[in-house]
Amino acid sequence: MKIGQMVPNYARWWRGDEIWATCEKGKEMGLSSLFFVDHIIVTPEQYIGMGNGYMDIWTAMTYVAAVTNAQGWKPTLGQCVCVIPYRPPIQQAKVAATIDSLSGGRLMIGAGSGYMYDEFETLGIPYEERGARTDEYLKAMIELWTHPVATFHGKYVNFENKTISVRPSQQPHPPILVGARGKRPFRRIAEFCQGYVPGAGGAQRDLPESHPFHGRPPYGPKTLEEDLKEINKLWKEYGREGKPYVAVAPKYVHLTTKRSEASGSVSRGVVVGDIPYTPTFPKMHVQDLVNEIRAYADVGADEFVIHPPSYKYGGASNQEVLLNQMEMIAEHVLPKVPKG
């Protein structure tokens, strides 16, 4: 089991020296990957609850690629997830190929269709077309990555005998992991993608009935086991060899070594009307996280991505909290999980 970590590319304090220190700690720990999250334009309420310094996911990944290159380590650079319909696919293909080339083949694309209606509306992209656009955009991107001169004709994307010039280091292209559940996403994995990014427990919210995630049951190893039965069945139907790669991400958790503290949660954000913008990090004992990671490994997960907190807490700064949580992972979690 590989262990990765979400980085706070959504936080305005996470820049220059702080990025360097986080990556240096990750190198010391021997993390397998660093994962990034994606939003382009949000409301003021979302800004407070979801992150007050959202960097562009691709630009942030490029910066971290350079930092880790300079530090002499090669973590995979993953996404949980990049909302594929948000960006023109030709441009997105070129950006992704550039990052993969500059990083020496370390890009792993987490492909999502998105869920925030107001973000789609603001960007001028029809919300109801997000699944169809995701499929076509990804297929067009694959054509550009795998052919020096490519041709593609679809409903949303059309080009004839064109090249983006830069080629990804990974061939035929960087792996694409689908970050969504359901018939269409599972078919997408089996048809032309390389794996699955199920949610290990995102930022928990008491959501109103109007929210698309309202009523969604907590994800766990048993759910992944059921999902993989369907995905593997489709995988074989499409004649694919091997198996889909599974990176369980992200696990929002505020770790503690004291059983007496392993209850409750820490929330940050605001509530506007009946809609909360309050990401919640459940407090969890380190051994309980170890047990959960082992359970995911037992049902077929290849990687587990932890999202430690980076808010101010107990008199400590954002960076101090993050590095302290990373130290807990290094000391109490990594030595006890199956090695990837």
Triad 18, 21, 25: Cα angle to 5° = 140
Percent above pLDDT 70 for the chain: 94
Answer whether CATH 2.40.128.280 is correct for domain 2-336. no
Convert the pLDDT of each residue in 258-315 to its tens digit. 999 998 899 887 777 776 677 889 999 999 999 999 999 999 999 999 999 999 999 9
- Residue 150: its H or E element: strand 150-153
Radius of gyration of the chain (CA): 19
Contact assessment for residue 186 and residue 236, using Cβ atoms and an 8 Å cutoff: no
Nearest to 126 by CA among 113, 140, 111, 139: 113
Render the burial of 89-115: b for 16+ CB within 10 Å, e for the rest.
bbebbbbbbbbbbbbeebbbbbbbbbe
Convert the pLDDT of each residue in 205-253 to its tens digit. 455 555 555 556 678 999 999 999 999 999 999 999 999 999 999 999 9
Residue 204 pLDDT: 45
Q: How many helices (H) and strands (E) does the chain have?
A: 10, 16
CB atoms within 10 A of CB 79: 26
Residue 210 pLDDT: 57
Token couple for 297: 């490994």
Q: Residue 203's pLDDT band (boundaries 50, 70, 90)?
A: very low
d(CA 229, CA 143): 29
d(CA 301, CA 21): 29
Residue 279 pLDDT: 80
Sign of CA dihedral 97, 103, 104, 107: negative
Residue 162 pLDDT: 98
